[in-house]
């Protein structure tokens, strides 16, 4: 994913065919963070805490449903990914950037949770054989983070290192 051009209202990115496919497939995973994952408080006791947690869960469920609806519409928009000689171009309106970054973050964090919330600095040599069923989840976590990074760099007008 590379920035083609940016202006005050939008950033246009280039994706090759494989990147476009991965981007769409990763977005199709949304939502990944389990319902009820975000606790309102770890120390608030009593019935009020239960009621407040229920309200938070309901608000988050509504937000997820809205993000899913918006994502379906966004992806279904005609010419979302315009064919170019070198692949595809898509334009992200700056007004949509925070929302799309939230969707990608849910996929990244949810995948991390599904992997058992591993430590940041793993010694891969000591892990032993990886469960092949976890490869897809690990790839989703890494790719969603990569897409987030590229979008952020595009919005900031910087190139990823």
pLDDT tens, 69-90?
999 999 999 999 999 999 999 9
Confidence at residue 52, expressed as pLDDT on a 0 to 100 scale: 84
For the cut 80, the answer to whether the pLDDT of residue 61 exceeds it is yes
End-to-end CA distance of the chain: 13
Answer yes or no: are the C-beta atoms of 152 and 105 closer than 8 Å: no
- Average the pLDDT over 17-27 and give the result: 98
The residue among 117 and 145 whose pLDDT is bigger is: 145
The residue among 66 and 52 whose pLDDT is bigger is: 66
Single pTM value for the model: 0.88
Phi, psi of 88, rounded to the nearest 5 degrees? -140, 150
Confidence at residue 93, expressed as pLDDT on a 0 to 100 scale: 97
Helix-strand-coil split of the chain, %, nearest 5 = 55, 15, 30
């Amino acid at each position: 994913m590379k920035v083609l051009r940016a202006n005050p209202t939008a950033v246009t990115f280039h994706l090759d065919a494989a990147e476009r496919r991965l981007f769409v497939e990763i977005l199709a995973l949304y939502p990944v963070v389990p319902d009820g994952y975000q606790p309102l408080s770890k120390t608030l006791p009593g019935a009020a805490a239960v009621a407040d947690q229920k309200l938070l869960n309901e608000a988050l469920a509504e937000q997820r449903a809205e993000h899913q609806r918006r994502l379906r519409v966004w992806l279904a928009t005609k010419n979302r990914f315009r064919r170019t000689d070198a692949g595809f171009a898509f334009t992200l309106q700056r007004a949509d950037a925070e929302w799309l970054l939230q969707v990608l973050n849910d996929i990244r964090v949810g995948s991390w949770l599904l992997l058992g919330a591993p430590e940041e600095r793993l010694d891969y040599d000591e892990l032993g054989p990886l469960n092949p069923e976890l490869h897809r989840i690990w790839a989703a976590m890494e790719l969603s983070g990569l897409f987030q990074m590229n979008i952020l760099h595009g919005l900031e007008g910087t190139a990823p290192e």
